[in-house]
Structure 1
Amino acid sequence: MSDSLHTLSTLPTERRSGCPFDPPAELIDAREHAPLSRITHPGGVPGWMITGYDLVKSVLADPRFSSRKDLLNVVADFKIPPAPPGEFLLTDDPEHGRYRKPLVGKFTARRMRLLTERIEQITDDCLDAMAKAGPSADLVTAFARPIPTIVICELLGVPYEERGSFEEQIALFMNGEPNDEELIAAYAATQQYLAGLVAAKRANPTDDVLSELADSDLSDEELQGISLILLAAGLDTTANMLALGTFALLENPAQLAALRADPSLTDRAVEELLRYLTVAKTFMRTATEDVELGGQTIEAGTTVLLSYNTANRDPERFTAPHSLDIRRQDGGHLAFGHGVHLCLGQQLARIEMRIALRALLDRFPTLRLAVPAEEVRLRPEAADVYGVKSLPVTWDA
């Protein structure tokens, strides 16, 4: 690895042909050259791309790097507005802490474990429907998306009779296609629905997270923003991990066989899939003062891109990082971030993945792709969350 300064013209988006699970080729090459590269943001402003594990982790723990949306400096001569109320991922303390604190106790490992039986039932219902309609299915619509959607709907207290239309809205909203009129309309409809849901919980609380949050000093707008973040962070990432994770296992038959043969490997397999795939792949931070990093000075006001997926493939941190190894011992991936913005829903995501993947493999021991791997439709690299649009599978009846 060279210590000289590397330069990227813009954010790379092309993955190597036949390697749908690897980060974009230019990012891998940049990381092999050095963990810190110069980059030009899509809006024409110079910045930095951080691809190494240690540097990404250090930035995430450094209060001199801000998460505030309105500090992002990526488009020339354009001031980005602040994050809407409640959207705490794009804020700093004390605002961030005010939003996050009421949520922490609602997403503890213990509380998430209490959901195990319900998640098992939801998973079994999806697999029953798959088996009945089979022996073929689109694993995205039959399995990967419904499970986290139903779970998050129940956590937010979406009435049962309204879930069908709500699920259609959020499926459009999170379809991974940017600048799409249908997506924009679905986003507006989702916001409108959440506003009504917040009002309903204020008037008639039920046994759910949103009703508990409504009994606080948070405004209706803030509750709406928090609900949107819980949807986006708790649904789209898990759905794509379930689909892309299954795809990765099917394309690694030795790993799949080992997991089928030894259920005790399930927890470790989930952690390895999170590291290997890292579907929430790139985040941004802005330096609030000059910061020395990796032998370079990051000037105040400069926005840096943090490449989680190359950090999780860093050969200085992980042995054979581009290999899927469900027996891997060197853990500590950054798929859920690090520091004050460490993902609140990480325990829920882990439980959903453990239950769903284990049940899928046990229920369909002959599960396989129904199309050649190169025909599986992938989400665009420009989407916030990477994954597959559809995953046609089949099995022996």
Structure 2
Amino acid sequence: MSTTLPTERRADRPFDPPTGLAELREQRPLSRLAYPDGHEGWLVTSHALVRAVLADSRFSVRAELRHMPISGAPDSDQPPPPGMFGGMDAPEHTRYRNLLTGKFTVRRMRQLSERVTQITEEHLAAIERQSGPVDLVTALTQPVPAQMICELLGVPYQDRARFQQHALDLFRLNAPPEELAAAYGAVHAFVEELVAAKRVAPTDDLLGDLTETDLTDEELVNIGFSLLGAGMDTTANMLALSVFALLVHPDQLAALRANPGIADRAVEELLRYASIIPFTIRTALTDVELNGEVIKAGETVTISVPAANRDPAHFADPDTLDLLRSTSGHVAFGHGGHQCLGQQLARVELRVALPALITRFPDLRLAVPVQDVALRTDMLIYGVHALPVVWEV
């Protein structure tokens, strides 16, 4: 018996995984899944099985092998072009990963904390000058990650707004093909200009550093395209959803405000609790026996990140937000060889911005009822479209 991927969420429980995933995890953690294109594959929902699949090299990330579990999501039957390492297996993926890993070390990301703090304070000051209500998405949670990833890669500040809008368009579900193609073309052309400029005059940033390697212009453009797209929308939505979660859990908000020293642990719990990546995909390269079933070569496996992060077999009382809990093993950034490359930068931004916001505005609160916050159910990355807030002036 096959199911389709659950995607509906309860408006009154915006942080919970889509309805039906918990039941599947309990009854059939590895279940047959019907894909919109007619493919019959699998859905994995338990924490143990999710980590097992993500760590197993017999499952491929190659874009041309996969089937998408929802309609309207971007898909391709062609291998990714050079530099688009996210859709590649070893050894191609390993080559690019090794070139980039040194640019995303914990030490280097922590060095960026001072700049993140400065940018955050600038935006908080601008918010404070307003009387409210203010949309935190446009005022804080989008511009901070956008500016940081643009600075990391050497994108001129004056160009970030133009790029950001095109990047957001790439993540919209059910957008007309011509709009997606236009957004892709605009972002690609933007990065081409950036790479060409850095070839002439290398700059002290990640993309500038890479121009001094043996990478071709095509590879550099596609790497820049990948990192820019992935580094803005994800962190922006994780930051917005984290603020939203704290505002509707006043006890946890109070705990973080009273003790900013728990920020590291709080960030990990928010990543687990409010998973923004609905799924990731692998395809079996050979027959694989898993949980008493045989996944045949060529079958696509959809991996539910929210279901794994709420698995009671691994996390006690998983549906409760507890900023002091141990979240060891959460899969918000994936697992295995394709674990998120920029996770340390995301952590730095969250660790700086969240305490700064709730300290600057001790009486911050939602300006609308919880159920009226517009959720990004029409996007590949989950979050909120807007987060209106008010405070005492």
Structure 2 length normalisation: TM-score?
Answer: 0.95
1:284 partner letter: I
Q: Is the 8 A contact 1:243 1:391 kept in 2?
A: yes
Give the Cα separation in 2 of the matches to 1:161 and 1:21: 34
% same residue:
54
Residue 254 (structure 2) aligns with: 257
Residue 67 (structure 1) aligns with: 61
Q: Is the 8 A contact 1:319 1:330 kept in 2?
A: no
Residue 332 (structure 2) aligns with: 335
- Report the CA distance between 1:177 and its aligned residue: 4.0
Residue of structure 2 aligned with 1:242, choices 228, 239, 247: 239
Query: 1:156 and 1:330, CA in 2 relative to 1: closer, same or farther beyond 3 A?
Result: closer
| Bigger shift: residues 125-134 or 317-326 | 125-134
1:142 partner letter: A
Matches within 5 A, 1:66-215: 66-73=60-67, 80-174=77-171, 176-180=172-176, 181-215=178-212
Match of 1:25, SS state, is: coil
Give the Cα separation in 2 of the matches to 1:247 and 1:210: 33
After superposition, the C-alpha distances for 1:89-120 in whole angstroms (9 at most, x for unaligned) are: 11001110111111100000000111111110
- Report the CA distance between 1:338 and its aligned residue: 0.9
Give the Cα separation in 1 of the matches to 2:225 and 2:334: 19
- Report the CA distance between 1:245 and its aligned residue: 0.7
After superposition, the C-alpha distances for 1:62-106 in whole angstroms (9 at most, x for unaligned) are: 11001111121459xx98111132111110011101111111000
Residue 47 (structure 1) aligns with: 41
Matches within 5 A, 1:300-339: 300-339=297-336
Give the Cα separation in 2 of the matches to 1:8 and 1:135: 49
Residue 296 (structure 2) aligns with: 299
Residue 384 (structure 1) aligns with: 380
Residue 389 (structure 2) aligns with: 393
- Report the CA distance between 1:183 and its aligned residue: 4.7
Structure 1 length normalisation: TM-score?
Answer: 0.94
Q: Is the 8 A contact 2:268 2:327 kept in 1?
A: no
- Report the CA distance between 1:232 and its aligned residue: 2.3
Give the Cα separation in 2 of the matches to 1:133 and 1:152: 27
1:348 corresponds to 2:345: yes
- Report the CA distance between 1:325 and its aligned residue: 0.6
- Report the CA distance between 1:350 and its aligned residue: 0.5
Residue 72 (structure 2) aligns with: none
Query: 1:228 and 1:79, CA in 2 relative to 1: closer, same or farther beyond 3 A?
Result: closer
Q: Is the 8 A contact 2:116 2:148 kept in 1?
A: yes
Match of 1:19, SS state, is: coil
1:13 corresponds to 2:7: yes
1:57 corresponds to 2:77: no
Q: Is the 8 A contact 2:146 2:160 kept in 1?
A: no
Give the Cα separation in 1 of the matches to 2:129 and 2:173: 31
Q: Is the 8 A contact 1:73 1:301 kept in 2?
A: no
Residue 38 (structure 1) aligns with: 32
Give the Cα separation in 2 of the matches to 1:296 and 1:136: 53
- Report the CA distance between 1:43 and its aligned residue: 1.2
- Report the CA distance between 1:253 and its aligned residue: 1.2
- Report the CA distance between 1:182 and its aligned residue: 4.3
Matches within 5 A, 1:16-27: 16-27=10-21
2:175 partner letter: N
Residue 264 (structure 2) aligns with: 267
After superposition, the C-alpha distances for 1:354-378 in whole angstroms (9 at most, x for unaligned) are: 0000100110111100011111001
1:390 partner letter: A
After superposition, the C-alpha distances for 1:288-322 in whole angstroms (9 at most, x for unaligned) are: 11000011000011000001110010110000011
- C-alpha root-mean-square deviation of aligned residues, in Å? 1.7
- Report the CA distance between 1:169 and its aligned residue: 3.0
Q: Is the 8 A contact 1:260 1:362 kept in 2?
A: yes
Aligned residues: 387
Give the Cα separation in 2 of the matches to 1:79 and 1:67: 12
- Report the CA distance between 1:158 and its aligned residue: 1.1
Query: 1:48 and 1:186, CA in 2 relative to 1: closer, same or farther beyond 3 A?
Result: same
Q: Is the 8 A contact 1:278 1:308 kept in 2?
A: yes
- Report the CA distance between 1:16 and its aligned residue: 2.5
Give the Cα separation in 2 of the matches to 1:74 and 1:279: 17
Q: Is the 8 A contact 2:173 2:380 kept in 1?
A: no
Give the Cα separation in 1 of the matches to 2:229 and 2:45: 24
Q: Is the 8 A contact 1:61 1:339 kept in 2?
A: yes
After superposition, the C-alpha distances for 1:257-283 in whole angstroms (9 at most, x for unaligned) are: 111111122111100000011101200
Query: Unmatched 5+ residue regions in structure 1?
Result: 1-6
Query: Unmatched 5+ residue regions in structure 2?
Result: 70-74
